[in-house]
């Protein structure tokens, strides 16, 4: 297991990528996020992050946390779970290989096997959409946030973003089966609309607090 220690270091280290223009207005806010397939929600039965436009399933509320180098993480409100992407593609393979080759006592011939295990190659030209996609769904995993849970916001227009991973992959609304997956480009399926729900949540919290006091006062009066 000590062979995977440098992999853990990668997951907690910061990147030297150029900082993108992240609107400060969104950091620290509670939001819901909607893509082509509907609002993002957490399917607790399957462990997948999905989109759902059907009735009866409310969107998950996410807290946008600021990270180093202009990145953000998305925490499910009221939990220690963060939206998490899978590793795939040449960029991820190259970055992890570079670190593993520097590890003492790790034989160079072992590195390809570790990469094959940890990093998926994604779709190929033989797949129906061609190369550059990863059809696995995002998941919600415990923090503190690591490199698979840190993202850059690329604003398309006000309140609408592309959400890019450290490895240059974008969240994608895989709307035909309701999953949040990844792709290597920023087009329509990769754009996400943010709605600030902080005010609504505070109002709801205030209502609950008032209701609690009313119940308490009513109970006291009854004695």
Per-residue pLDDT tens digits for 2-25: 334 444 545 544 433 334 455 578
Q: 26 vs 29, 84, 85, 126, CA distance in Å? A: 5, 19, 21, 40
Per-residue pLDDT tens digits for 76-127: 999 999 999 887 666 665 676 677 777 888 877 877 777 676 666 754 556 5
- The per-residue pLDDT for 198 is 66
> Which distant-in-sequence residues (6+ apart) come within 8 Å of 159 by Cβ?
193, 194, 195
Do 57 and 43 form a contact (C-beta atoms < 8 A)? Answer: no
Of the listed ranges 1-10, 127-136, 147-156, the one predicted with least confidence = 1-10
Q: Strand pairing partners for 5?
A: none
Per-residue pLDDT tens digits for 22-41: 557 899 999 999 999 899 99
What DSSP designation does 223 have?
Answer: -
Mean pLDDT of 124-132: 54
Do 36 and 189 form a contact (C-beta atoms < 8 A)? Answer: yes
Distance CA 114, CA 111 (A): 5
H or E, element range at 161: strand 160-165
- The per-residue pLDDT for 220 is 39
pLDDT range class, residue 153, cuts 50, 70, 90: very high
Tokens for 86? Answer: 């899978």
- The per-residue pLDDT for 191 is 96
- The per-residue pLDDT for 192 is 96
Give the residue carrying structure tokens 């440098």.
Answer: 6
Query: pTM score, two decimals?
Result: 0.71
Tokens for 41? Answer: 């929600």
């Amino acid at each position: 297991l000590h062979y995977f220690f440098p992999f853990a270091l990668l997951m907690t280290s910061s990147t030297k990528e150029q900082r993108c223009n992240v609107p400060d207005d969104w950091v620290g806010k509670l939001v819901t996020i909607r893509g082509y397939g509907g609002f993002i929600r957490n399917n607790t039965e399957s462990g997948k992050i999905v989109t759902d436009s059907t009735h009866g399933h409310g969107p998950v509320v996410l807290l946008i946390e600021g990270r180093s180098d202009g990145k953000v993480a998305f925490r499910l409100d009221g939990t220690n779970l963060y939206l998490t992407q899978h590793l795939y593609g040449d960029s991820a393979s190259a970055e992890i290989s570079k670190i593993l080759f520097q590890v003492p006592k790790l034989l160079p011939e072992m590195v390809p096997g570790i990469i094959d295990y940890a990093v998926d190659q994604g779709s190929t030209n033989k797949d129906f959409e061609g190369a550059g996609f990863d059809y696995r769904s995002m998941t919600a995993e415990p923090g503190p946030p690591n490199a698979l849970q840190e993202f850059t916001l690329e604003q398309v227009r006000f309140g609408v973003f592309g959400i890019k991973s450290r490895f240059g992959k974008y969240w994608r609304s895989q709307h035909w089966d309701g999953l949040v997956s990844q792709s290597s480009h920023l087009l329509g399926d990769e754009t996400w609309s943010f709605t600030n729900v902080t005010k609504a949540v505070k109002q709801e919290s205030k209502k609950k607090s008032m209701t609690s006091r009313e119940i308490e006062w009513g109970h006291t009066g009854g004695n």
